Structure 1
Amino acid sequence: MTKVLIVDDSVFSQKIAANLIKKYMGDVELSFANDGEEGIELYEKLKPDFVITDLLMPKLSGQELIRRIKAHDKFAEIIVVSADVQKNIREEVEAYNILSFLNKPLQDEKAQLICNLMREKIHG
């Protein structure tokens, strides 16, 4: 079973992401963190196959979350879904070799893209 950690300070965004991923991915185990600090803790505890994260969060930003996860596991598969589309931020985040960077809101088409990316990584 594919394990996915969703890190977003918006419970509404978490629910949308969860519903769409279940819809297109099927058999998936979802976990949720409400900020970057909780995201780090859960990443280390659960060892998820994929992390879907927002960038703008309290306590620890998505950029810092990505930096720390990648320092711990350079092969971590991270997908960013964020309303923060500043060019310099996007370039900084993409330099960490993330799987994808998508703009919020997350809708069917973007969720299908995420699920296809995850399937490609799982099945080679």
Structure 2
Amino acid sequence: MATTMMLVEDDRDTLEILSVVLRRKYGDLLLCTADNGRKGVELFREREVDIVITDVNMPEMGGVAMVQEIRGMKPQVQFIFITADAGRATLEHSVGEGFQLDHYIEKPVDYRHLFAAIDQSLAKVRSVPPDGGGHD
């Protein structure tokens, strides 16, 4: 079964650029996109998403609220936050205790950091049994 990655970003130009880059670099993955957190949650419910790359500040539903909702449905999903605004400590504080922040990339995106985060996420996703079992 193919690994599915979802990109959630409200800036249309950033969404399009990242989509092209990700499809070229990770052609073996299925990529779906959404332009806000609410649409991201809807898309997540329709597909078996393994990795979510998301902006933090978006209209309708931000990245943090979206991630909290998705974690409730599928805790083993890997999340990569991309943001220009919040520092990592601020982001971890805003999401609360017990929230695992998998990866954090600052804008402008350094693709080496993004690819490293995706590669690490893929390794984790592919090492987890299909039933979602197993712990680190």
TM-score by length of 1: 0.86
Unmatched tracts of structure 2, length 5 or more: 128-136
Q: Which runs of 4+ in 1 moved over 4 A?
A: none
Question: Is 2:95 the counterpart of 1:90?
Answer: no
Residues 70 and 82 of structure 1: CA distance in aligned 2, closer, same or farther (over 3 Å) = same
Return the structure number with greater helix share.
1
> Out of 100, 107, 110, which is 1:107 matched to?
110
Residues 119 and 92 of structure 1: CA distance in aligned 2, closer, same or farther (over 3 Å) = same
Residues 43 and 31 of structure 1: CA distance in aligned 2, closer, same or farther (over 3 Å) = same
TM-score by length of 2: 0.79
Unmatched tracts of structure 1, length 5 or more: none
Separation in structure 2 between the aligned mates of residue 114 and residue 15 of structure 1, nearest angstrom: 20
CA contact 1:17–1:106 (8 Å) conserved in 2: no
Larger radius of gyration: 2
Moved more, 83-92 or 25-34: 83-92
Corresponding residue SS for 1:31: strand
